[in-house]
Amino acid sequence: MPDEQVFLKSKAIVEPLVDRFYAWLHTLAPAQAALNLANRQVPMLESYLQSPQVHMAASVNPTLRGGFFVNIHKKRRDEVQDLLDSIKRDRADMLRFASAIAHGHELLREAATGFDLNPLYPKLPSELGGLVELVFDTENQAAMRFIEPLLYKSAVYAEDRQSVQLLLEPGTERPFILSTPRLSSPDVLELPIPFRHSGLEELFKARVSPTTPARLREALELDDAQAAQLSGLLSDRPSLAEDRHIQGGGRIRYFGHACLVLQTPQGSVVTDPFISADSSMAGRYTLDDLPDFIDLVLITHGHQDHIVLETLLQLRGRVGTIVVPRPSRGNLPDPSIALALKHLGFPVLEVDDFDEVPFPGGKVVATPFLGEHCDLDIRSKSTYWVELAGKKVFIGADSSGIEPTLYRYVREHLGKADIAFLGMECDGAPLTWLYQALLTTPVTKAMSNSRKLSGSNAEQAAAITTELGAREVHIYAMGEEEWLGHVMATTYNEDTYQIKQIEEFMKWCTDHGIKGDHLFGQQEWRW
């Protein structure tokens, strides 16, 4: 009935898409999206169309897991061809902008020799006019600084790229999704609406507050067929966990990977939300276990496993503020997280190192984040210090202990940490796996492999722990949980370097009287 009270089912999920590819920061932010479209997605589709069978075989090869292959059956080749044709037709402005960036960089390499840059402006491609500034650093290295807010007002940012697919959690690991466009499917509700659409907020708030099918139909602008499909995502009762709030003291829950939920009776903080929707599975917390309202969401950095739109979109309307690190302003590998999220309808606060953000029952302090970004000049990364219910908690994410003296400064400023959460993905992907599309000057394979997306190893984690004075340390952010595979594509066994390093660190903790733990699935701490 159109007026009956309904809730969104526990297992409902959303896949946010841009030109049918799974969306993440580098496919949303305009300059980075243009380069990824031109230098990775279009060539990948062209490669698939030449050899669908090669891509199909590579997609199911365990040794190539996480490779950029299109995992679509050759029977649907014509649909991929149609997608490629539409991209080349409808995204011509973006493709021209990507080409203009490459030409601009080439101009600087040839003509920026340390003298006045003003004569170069007329030589820039017209697509860059008014959107970049040419600069030198103090070592006479020339660069283009992008005026990023203007890019969102230009033809390079096209909201009609955005759409969502709504479906029920399949209960099995989804295949790696960053390389494969999502085609239509009879069991998926497709909505050609931008991510900021108010109807999505209305839909996902129905996890905690009842609504009606008629109201959702109007909010999402559904036709009869879409409304019928939506009904399969709705239930007559909520599926919220009874213990999602606490009555006293403090609590931390580990939700998998880098996601922690820190609570007092007065308020709550969530870090890097990447959360399962499959409440039928044991051994994990899901969206049902989140508090109804979240005061702060803390984003540590812009990688696709830490700012996860699939989860964030489901929290819009239930979050007070998303706290994000401040970028370098206009540096190509360092897009503004705040600008991207604001254009998706989120309330956002940018922070610098040692900025404080209060929340009911505690406070958050942004702290420095070293390493993990392939030595690129990326400043939109932050660790966090959370104080709540008498505890001081360090949230380290993927940061590295390459310079442990830094953490001595943190301790001198903020005191000893009671609990530290550290990532130890110490043999990460090479530079080109994530950033190749942004590199207009090729790098050698050896150079790429030497600059990895790596966090701390055992020695560095021990140094961080020592300098922070922490007596309890938990290793997290490893991407081992099975519900993360469609984004993470990580594969470990007992002999992999990362696991061996964790074992070495755990032994160090035991030898030094420190409580250490390697987190997996779910865990809870109460005091």
Helix (H, G, I), strand (E, B), or coil: what is residue 138? coil
Strand duo 142-146 + 132-136: pairing: antiparallel
The arithmetic mean of pLDDT across residues 459-484, rounded, is 96
Cα-based distances in Å from 135 to 56, 117, 120, 331, 394: 45, 8, 11, 11, 37
The arithmetic mean of pLDDT across residues 36-61, rounded, is 97
* pLDDT tens per residue across span 193-204: 999 999 999 999
- Position 277 in a domain: yes
478, two tokens: 């490893």
* pLDDT tens per residue across span 70-80: 999 999 999 99
- Position 524 in a domain: no
Statement to judge: residues 117 and 202 lie in one domain: no
- Residue 170: phi and psi, rounded to 5, are -75, -15
Cβ–Cβ < 8 Å for 296, 269: yes
Integer Cα distance of 307 and 293 in angstroms: 19
- Position 48 in a domain: yes
Statement to judge: residues 434 and 446 lie in one domain: yes
Buried b (16+ CB within 10 A) or exposed e, 216-228: bbebbebeeebbe
255, two tokens: 């939700």
pLDDT at 174: 85
Give the pLDDT band of residue 491 (cuts 50, 70, 90). Answer: confident
Give the pLDDT band of residue 134 (cuts 50, 70, 90). Answer: very high
Please count the other Cβ atoms lying within 10 Å of the Cβ belonging to residue 61: 11
Question: Which CATH number fits the domain that encloses residue 497?
Answer: 3.60.15.10
447, two tokens: 């150079």
Statement to judge: residues 174 and 276 lie in one domain: no
Give the pLDDT band of residue 2 (cuts 50, 70, 90). Answer: low
- Position 96 in a domain: yes
Strand duo 319-325 + 348-351: pairing: parallel
Amino acid, res. 252? I
Residues 6+ apart with CB under 8 A from 445: none
Average pLDDT of the chain, as a whole number: 96
Q: Taking Cα atoms as reference points, which of 88, 98, 25 lies closest to residue 439? A: 98
212, two tokens: 């009606």
Statement to judge: residues 23 and 123 lie in one domain: no
- Position 305 in a domain: yes
Q: Taking Cα atoms as reference points, which of 181, 183, 221 lies closest to residue 200? A: 221
Rg of the chain over all Cα atoms, to the nearest angstrom: 23
Integer Cα distance of 233 and 7 in angstroms: 9
Q: Taking Cα atoms as reference points, which of 23, 17, 344 lies closest to residue 197? A: 344
Cβ–Cβ < 8 Å for 465, 459: no
pLDDT at 199: 97
Statement to judge: residues 284 and 304 lie in one domain: yes
Give 447's DSSP letter. Answer: H
Which residues in 62-188 belong to E strands, given as ranges? 132-136, 142-146, 162-168
Q: Is the pLDDT of residue 1 over 70?
A: no
- Last residue within a domain, chosen from 171, 200, 235: 235
Statement to judge: residues 267 and 401 lie in one domain: yes
Give 276's DSSP letter. Answer: B
Statement to judge: residues 263 and 343 lie in one domain: yes
Q: Is the pLDDT of residue 513 over 70?
A: yes
Statement to judge: residues 28 and 114 lie in one domain: no
- Position 498 in a domain: yes
Please count the other Cβ atoms lying within 10 Å of the Cβ belonging to residue 86: 12
- Last residue within a domain, chosen from 151, 174, 192: 151
The arithmetic mean of pLDDT across residues 352-357, rounded, is 98
Statement to judge: residues 351 and 459 lie in one domain: yes
Please count the other Cβ atoms lying within 10 Å of the Cβ belonging to residue 115: 11
What range defines the domain where residue 134 resides?
A: 92-151
Give the pLDDT band of residue 260 (cuts 50, 70, 90). Answer: very high
**The model's pTM:** 0.96
Statement to judge: residues 100 and 15 lie in one domain: no
For residue 385, the surrounding DSSP H or E stretch is: strand 383-388
- Residue 12: phi and psi, rounded to 5, are -70, 135
Q: Which residue has tokens 């051994």?
A: 283
Structural domain count, the chain: 3
Cβ–Cβ < 8 Å for 146, 339: no
* pLDDT tens per residue across span 178-232: 999 999 999 999 999 999 999 999 999 999 999 999 999 999 999 999 999 999 9
Integer Cα distance of 92 and 89 in angstroms: 6
pLDDT at 172: 82
Give 90's DSSP letter. Answer: H
The arithmetic mean of pLDDT across residues 267-293, rounded, is 96
Integer Cα distance of 344 and 354 in angstroms: 27
Q: Is the pLDDT of residue 92 over 90?
A: yes
- Last residue within a domain, chosen from 151, 174, 196: 151
HEC secondary structure over 396-417:
CCCCCCCCCHHHHHHHHHHCCC
Statement to judge: residues 208 and 287 lie in one domain: no
Statement to judge: residues 28 and 38 lie in one domain: yes
The arithmetic mean of pLDDT across residues 438-459, rounded, is 95
Give the pLDDT band of residue 489 (cuts 50, 70, 90). Answer: confident
Buried b (16+ CB within 10 A) or exposed e, 97-108: bbbbbebbbebb
- Position 374 in a domain: yes
